[in-house]
Amino acid sequence: MHTEVVPIDADPPDAGAIARAAAVLRAGGLVAFPTETVYGLGASALDADAVARIFAAKGRPSNNPLIVHVADIPDVGRVAADWPGSAARLAERFWPGPLTLVLPKRPDLPDAVTAGGPTVAVRVPAHPVALALIRAAGVPIAAPSANRSGYISPTRAEHVLSGLDGRIDMVLDAGQVPGGIESTVLDLTSHPPRLLRPGLVSPAEIESIIGPVARPASRGEPSASPLPSPGMLARHYAPRTPLELAEDGGARVEELRRAGLRVGWLAFGATELAGVTVVQMPCDPDGYAARLYAALHALDGAGVARIIVSRPPESDEWLAVRDRLRRAAAP
C-alpha cells in the first residue's frame, strides 16, 4: 500500500485536503491525523473491518480498546449508551480537549472498538485538523496513537511514517503537535470515577469539577491490583534503545561513559559532556511533555546504546510524564 502524505495548515485546515481524507475514512481506509496530544491513526468507528485494519497496521493486541473521537457532545450518543451529569460537567469544562471519558457503550458499536468490553472511551479533540476531519467524515473516528504497538507515540508526521509507512492510506501532516503526550483517561462507570491513565488534564483539575477520583498508585510505582484497562501495559511508549531512569542522571551517564558505552541523556538544565548526546529538557511539566516523545525518537535514532533519563519530581503535576517514563523504562 502507498501511504500518501498530505501537508496541511492547522488553522484553517485546507478544505480540499480534509475532504480527501474524509473520503478515505468513509471508504474504510486509515488516515493518520494530528490531534492536540499526539498523532492518531483514524478509522470509522462504525465500520468493524476498518477498525480491524487499525489493529493490523499497528500490531495492536486485540484486547486493547480504542478511543473514539467525536466532533461535539451530541455525537457521543452515537457510541455511548449513557451521558451522566458528571460527564456533562467535565465535557463543559474540558472539551474540546485531552480528557477521555469511559462510558457504557451502545450495543451496536462494533466490539472491536472496545476490545469486546461493555464500555467505550470517547473524547472531542481540540486540534482544528482533527475536528474538521471528524466533521467531514460524518462518523465517529476510532483513533489510537499512530505508532507500532508499544513504541513511542508520534508527535510529528515523520514519526508516523517511520513506523507505519506503507501500512496506512494517508497522513495529514500539520507539523509538530502541541501537547506531546496522550489524553487523560477517566472511567465514569466506576464509583468513584477512576483515573485509568494520567494525561494532559491533571487529577486536581478533574476533582475541582466532580469531586474525588480514584488515582493510579502514587509515586509512579506499578499498582499491585489487576489492571482495569488492557491498555495499561507495563511496557509501553518505549524506544528500542534500553531506557533507564536515574536519580542522579549525570553520575549514571558518567559511569556508563567510563565503561565505554555511547549514551543519550534527557537532562534538566544546561549540560554538555563530550561523547554524550544530551537533550536539554524543559523544567516545567507541560513543556517537558510537549518535547518528550520527539526527544526519545531523536535519541532512538542517534545510535546510542543506552538512554538515561534524569528522574522528574514526584509531585502531581509530573504524574503523566512519570507514568510514560516508567512504562518506557519497563523491561
Q: Which segment (60-68, 159-167, 251-259, 307-315) binds ligand AMP by CB under 6 A?
A: 60-68
Q: Which is nearer to ligand AMP, 64 or 271 (CB)?
A: 64
Cβ–Cβ < 8 Å for 102, 191: no
CB of 144 to Mg ion, least distance (A): 5
Q: How many residues bind Mg ion (CB under 5 A)?
A: 2
Closest CA to 43 of 17, 14, 69, 61: 69
3-class SS string, 17-52: HHHHHHHHHHCCCCEEEECCCCEEEEEECCCHHHHH
Q: Does 150 bind ligand AMP (CB under 6 A)?
A: no
Name the grid cell of 314: 514526584
Asked whether 161 and 3 are in contact (CB, 8 A), the reply is yes
Binds 162, which of ligand AMP, Mg ion, none (CB < 5 to 8 A, cut-off by type)?
none
Q: Which of 30, 51, 70, 102 binds ligand AMP (CB under 6 A)?
A: 102
Beta carbon of residue 73, minimum distance to ligand AMP (angstroms, whole number): 18
How far is Cα 23 from Cα 4, in angstroms, rounded to an integer?
Answer: 14
> Using the rule CB under 6 A, is 104 a contact of ligand AMP?
no
Q: What number of chain residues touch ligand AMP (CB under 6 A)?
A: 20
Of residues 186-215, which lie at the interface with ligand AMP (CB under 6 A)?
196-197
Q: Residue 44 or residue 145: which is nearer to Mg ion going by CB?
A: 145
d(CA 46, CA 26): 10
Q: Rule CB under 6 A: say whether 65 interacts with ligand AMP.
A: yes
Q: Toward ligand AMP, which CB reaches closer, 151 or 318?
A: 151
Q: Is the peptide bond preceding residue 226 cis, with omega within 30 degrees of 0?
A: no
User: 117 or 250: whose CB is closer to Mg ion?
Assistant: 117
270 in Cβ contact with 251 (< 8 Å): no
> What part of residues 131-160 is at the interface with Mg ion (CB under 5 A)?
144-145
| Measured distance CA(267)–CA(284) in Å, rounded | 13
Q: Which does 110 bind (CB under 5 to 8 A by kind): ligand AMP, Mg ion, none?
A: none
C-alpha span between 137 and 20 (Å, rounded):
10
CB of 122: closest distance to Mg ion in angstroms? 16
Output 82 or 255, the one with its CB closest to ligand AMP. 82
Binds 119: which of Mg ion, ligand AMP, none (CB < 5-8 Å by kind): ligand AMP
State in angstroms the smallest separation of the CB of 167 from ligand AMP.
Answer: 16
**Cβ(126)–Cβ(212) below 8 Å:** no
Kindly give, in sequence order, each residue whose CB lies less than 8 Å from that of residue 27, ignoring residues fewer than 6 positions away: none
Residue 231 engages ligand AMP in binding (rule: CB under 6 A) = yes
DSSP one-letter code for 158: H
Spell out a b/e string for 160-172, using b for 16 or more CB atoms within 10 Å of the CB, else e.
bbbbbeebbbbbb
Q: Which backbone phi and psi does 260 adopt, to 5 degrees?
A: 90, 10
What part of residues 106-145 is at the interface with ligand AMP (CB under 6 A)? Answer: 114, 117, 119-121, 144-145
Q: Using the rule CB under 6 A, is 87 a contact of ligand AMP?
A: no
Binding footprint of ligand AMP on the chain (CB under 6 A) = 64-67, 102, 114, 117, 119-121, 144-145, 182, 185, 196-197, 229-232
Binding footprint of Mg ion on the chain (CB under 5 A) = 144-145
